[in-house]
Amino acid sequence: MANRHYRRAVEADLPELVRLLADDELGSRRELREAEDQRPFRDAFHEIDSDPNQYLLVVEEDGALIGMLQLTFISGLARGGLKRGQIEAVRIARHRRSAGVGQAMVEWAISRCRDEGCGLVQLTTDRSRTDAHRFYERLGFEPSHVGYKLNL
């Protein structure tokens, strides 16, 4: 078994994280265009990194960065003052897909949400990502909601 390590992202990971975001069926169109200018990514990284309610997770295997996801902890009044953990930006390096890395990473994230006092973990995934739907349903997630987006 490979030597797998979970940790908070640091600024030096940024070029690798941007590559991971671009190396993705939906992301490729979006991310590669913008990747030439690293500044927006650096600014966003610093906002995430300085926010105690955000945790940008990276997964390393034998020293190589092979996965990422972003966790946001959201306190709320609904459901008796329930805190939610929200997962975004889940990406696995292409050569390490379908090898259980995603499952291990999401399970790590769920456990981190539990430690943070969350009573619910939530995420949305594009309607077209049917592999992702099967993946999250296997992990116990219920497709109970419709996810709406409005571009500004």
64-93 CB burial, b ≥16 within 10 A, e <16: ebbbbbbbbbeeeeeeeeebbbbbebbbbb
Least separation in angstroms between residue 32's CB and its own copies is 10
101 binds its own copies (CB under 8 A): no
Type of residue numbered 127:
R
5/38 with CB nearer its own copies: 38
On whether the CB atoms of residues 113 and 86 are closer than 8 A, the answer is: no
Least separation in angstroms between residue 57's CB and its own copies is 12
On whether the CB atoms of residues 97 and 84 are closer than 8 A, the answer is: no
Indicate which single residue of 33, 64, 103, 131 sits in contact with its own copies (rule: CB under 8 A).
33
Indicate which single residue of 8, 44, 64, 134 sits in contact with its own copies (rule: CB under 8 A).
44
- Give the Cα separation of 1 and 33 in Å (integer): 36
* Interacting residues with its own copies (CB under 8 A): 17-18, 21, 27, 30-31, 33-34, 40-41, 43-45, 47-48, 51, 53-54, 56, 70, 72, 74-83, 86, 88-89, 110, 113-114, 118-127, 133, 136-137, 139-152
